[in-house]
Structure 1
């Protein structure tokens, strides 16, 4: 890609598609007319003109090429996780000094006093705002957005109109919440403190997903939604800043998507697992809030019977949505469809690739059905259904399994606000609902619990992954958490995003101890995770690990209590 072609990154006249070129740039030569934009030594993005988008595009490029769409993972925690007890010991009073907190989210209210030093200067190292176009002030190689430095932010804070100098602002508040819970200053009269109030912040404000992406998957235009490739760019930016400054960084991801195979094989998940191996990087990811939304269906299929029934209630307010069925090998899977008014679509027989558009005689509904016998990233079968103007009521699907072994399949509806709350499976299953990239193998996946009652948050997504890897690994306080608002006050929030911000602060404490105090100079995410699992609080009446709690609730005091006799 050249700077002259960079308008395609933000233009809705072009569809972003991710290509796994594996470092072999000759592969990208066949896409030269689509402006290949190299992200790293494995992935690139191409920009397909909207005039070329047809129902065959999915067949041509494969499901994995379409960026997954991500929503937000949130809606007296320090004592519960041992932070307050640690602060009572001078040798372990770890407040994040010298450690960076990286947040890829909705931006930050940089004018909020909780993100300033005592002298009024900012604790923010830099902000990359992907939504503000500039000629050449973007991070190297990205070709979009604007990067604002610490000096520019301080200049803005010293002016009467800060937003004239640094016009980046968090209009939603989720990023400000995440940054505040992890690293906000202490405000004793409001009973508030971030976990590591002496750390510094690096922030990415994500641009909203393109309307053309939303339209393809039936995602409403008025809900927060972010593209996978923009998040990948954001994570790479955080790591580049940490490397430039030679500082450890705790990265916090409070975003989630129910798209994909739920086994950690997506492009973003792959990047995060690679980054989690870097010394000085600790990555925490929200498990999601899909546990009680009834958006997951699971069933085995007895080979003697050959099929099972799956029923889906569609809300009267539903305008469109997508649904993904992932079948376990070696069996193959196919479906038939019965609409709420009784129109029947006979079994759509499986084949290597199926692409079919279904219209109904007495209804306005259209369904695009795509079969991928061997989906590229997972190797499993995918059936993708995209509904347009779906009829209200109960849709019935007969799911057939062909093979001599017992079949099994999962089906997921979109997460967050991407679908109406009263669109759900009648026989839903609350497990295997951890959202991407929370299924990524190496990062720490965090669920939420109520520190007042000691109970798991009912809305939290539950494990394990589709291939039974243990996710989430840990629980952190995430119910009724005090959080900063865009009005520079405080409010109460709940969700696994809040829990993940809390966990990110905890990991920053371990990075400070390990790297800056030189007790464990090359510590990685995997080793931080091991320390946290070892020190986690476990109820003697509960067997661990389990699908709700993982290995237990974070207790940073106990982590160091076990270590201090060795130090």
Structure 2
């Protein structure tokens, strides 16, 4: 990509395709007019004219190149996790000194005093605002957005109008909330303190998804929505900044997606797993808030019957949505459809590629159906249905299985916010609802609970992954938590992204103990996760691990007791 071509990154006239190319540009020859933008040696983003994203795209190019679309996962805590108990021990202070934390989200209100040190300087060492276009102030090799240094932020804070110098803001508040939970200064009388108030922090404000992708997957234009490739660039950026500063890094990802196979396989999952498995890097991910939404269905297929029936209730005034059916190997799968008015679409037989547009005589509904018999990254079969103007009422699908083993399949509707709350399955399954990338093996995936009564957050997504890997692994405070708001005051909120932020702060404490203080120089996400699991609080009467709690509630004080046995000098 050249300077002259960078406009394609933000232009709605071009779509971003996530390509595994392994430095072989010939793999991009199938995309006419493509501009290649490598993220690393394995993956690249190809910008192609939006006219190529037709209804036949998946049948011709597959599902894999389309970036998944992510949404937000949230709507005391430090005492519950044993953090304050550690702070009260003489000579044992883990407040994030020498560690960098990072939040990849909606930005930050950098003018809030909780993000300033006692001398008035900012805790923020860099902001990459992907939404502010600039001629050449973007991070190296990204070609978009604007990067603001700590020097610029501090200069802005001393001015009468900070936003004239550093115009990056957080109009949503989600990113400010997460950053505050991680590094916010203690505020007397507000029952608030970040987990690691002495840590530095990097902020990435994600740009919103292009309208062309929202249209293709029928996502409302008024909800926050982000592209997977922009999150991948953000991940690469925060790691490079931390390595430049020569400090360990704890990353919080509070966004998620219900798209994809839910098994931790895919371009972004592989990249995320690589970094999480790197020395000095910890990654904490929100499990999602899909456990009680009725947007997941699971069934086995009785071979004597040959199919399983699915009932979907579509609410009034639902503009449309996408629905993904993922079949279990080695069987193959196909569907038929009954509309609410009784129109019947006969069974659409499976084949290597199916692309069919279904229209109805008595209804305005249009359904675009794609079969991917062998999806590129998983080898599983995917059936993607995209509904436009679906008729309200009960839709019935029969999912057929063919093969010599018992068939089984999962169906996922879009995540909360991307679809009406009035659209759900009649007999939903609350499990296997962890959002991507929370199914990636190496990072720490966290669910939320209320520290006042040890009750699981009602909306929290539940495990395991589609291939029965234990996700989430841990629970952290995330229900009815005090958070900073955009009015520089405080309120309460709930959601698993709050639990992920809390865990990112705890991971920063362990990075300080391990690397900055020299107790465990090779510590990474996996090691941090294992020790948190060993020290976790387990509720009597529960069997662990389980799909709701993973291995239990994070208890850092007990984790350090466990570490004391392995490292007797601490």
- Structure 2 residue 136 is the aligned partner of structure 1 residue 170: no
Aligned to 1:348: 348
Normalised to the residue count of structure 2, the TM-score between the two structures is 0.98
| 1:219-238 correspondence to structure 2 within 5 Å | 219-238=219-238
User: After the TM superposition, which parts of structure 1 deviate over 4 Å for at least 4 consecutive aligned residues?
Assistant: 29-32
The CA deviation string for residues 188-210 of structure 1, in whole angstroms up to 9 with x for no partner, is 21110000000011010000000
Unaligned runs of 5+ in 2: none
Could you tell me whether the CA contact under 8 Å between 2:32 and 2:48 is conserved in 1? no
Number of the residue aligned with 1:22: 22
Please state if 1:416 is matched with 2:416.
Answer: yes
Q: Alpha-carbon deviation of 1:31?
A: 4.6
1:56 and 2:56 matched: yes
Determine the structure 1 residue equivalent to 2:480: 480
Q: Is 2:93 aligned against 1:93?
A: yes
Q: Tell me if structure 1 keeps the 8 A contact 2:59–2:371.
A: no
2:198 aligns to what SS in structure 1? coil
SS at match of 1:92: coil
Instruction: Work out the CA distance in 1 between the residues paired with 2:339 and 2:305.
Output: 23
Structure 2 equivalent of residue 388 of structure 1: 388
SS at match of 1:397: strand
Q: Output one character per residue of 1:351-406: Cα deviation in whole Å (capped at 9) or x when no partner.
A: 01100000111111100000000000110000000000111111000110011211
Q: Which moved more, 1:20-29 or 1:441-450?
A: 20-29
Q: Hey, what's the Cα distance between the residues in 2 that align with 1:157 and 1:32? A: 47
Match of 1:36 in 2: 36
1:361 aligned residue: 361
Partner of 1:260: 260
Q: Secondary structure at the match of 2:64?
A: helix
Distance (whole Å) between structure 2 residues aligned to residue 60 and residue 450 of structure 1: 48
Over the aligned positions, Cα root-mean-square deviation in angstroms equals 1.0
For 1:91 and 1:291, locate their aligned partners in 2 and report how far apart those are by CA, in whole Å.
Answer: 42
Unaligned runs of 5+ in 1: none
Aligned-partner SS, 1:284:
strand
1:65-104 correspondence runs (5 A): 65-104=65-104
- The equivalent of 2:453 in structure 1 is 453
Do 2:23 and 2:42's aligned partners in 1 also have CA atoms closer than 8 Å? yes
Alignment of 1:279-318 (within 5 A): 279-318=279-318
* Map of 2:216 onto structure 1: 216
The Cα of 1:32 is off from its aligned counterpart by 7.2
For the pair 1:532 / 2:532, whether they are aligned, the reply is: yes
Q: CA contact under 8 A between 2:449 and 2:475: conserved in structure 1?
A: yes
Partners of 1:277 and 1:161 in 2: how far apart? Answer: 42
Structure 1 residue 241: deviation in Å?
A: 0.3
SS at match of 2:396: strand
Following TM superposition, by how much is the alpha carbon of 1:30 offset from its aligned partner in structure 2, in angstroms?
A: 5.4
CA distance in 1: counterparts of 2:58 and 2:435, whole angstroms: 23
State the alpha-carbon separation in 1 of the partners of residues 240 and 328 from structure 2: 38
> Is 1:145 matched up with 2:145?
yes
Shift of 1:255: 0.5
Shift of 1:509: 0.3
Q: Deviations over 1:6-51 (max 9, x none)?
A: 1010011111111110233443455572111111111111112122
Aligned to 1:372: 372
The SS at the match of 1:243 is helix
Q: 1:242 to 1:562 in 2, by over 3 A?
A: same
Distance 1:145 1:90 in 2: 45
Cα deviation, 1:267-292, whole Å, max 9, x if unaligned, reads 22111100011111000000000000
2-side partners of 1:426 and 1:153: how far apart? Answer: 51
**For structure 1, which segment, 299-308 or 555-564, has the greater mean C-alpha deviation from structure 2 after superposition?**
555-564
Secondary structure, in 3 states, of the residue corresponding to 2:189?
helix
What secondary structure sits across from 1:527 in the alignment?
helix
Provide the C-alpha distance between the structure 1 equivalents of 2:562 and 2:50, rounded to a whole number of angstroms.
58
Instruction: Give the aligned partner of residue 10 of structure 1.
Output: 10
Alignment correspondent of 1:114: 114
Deviation at 1:174, TM superposition (A): 0.3
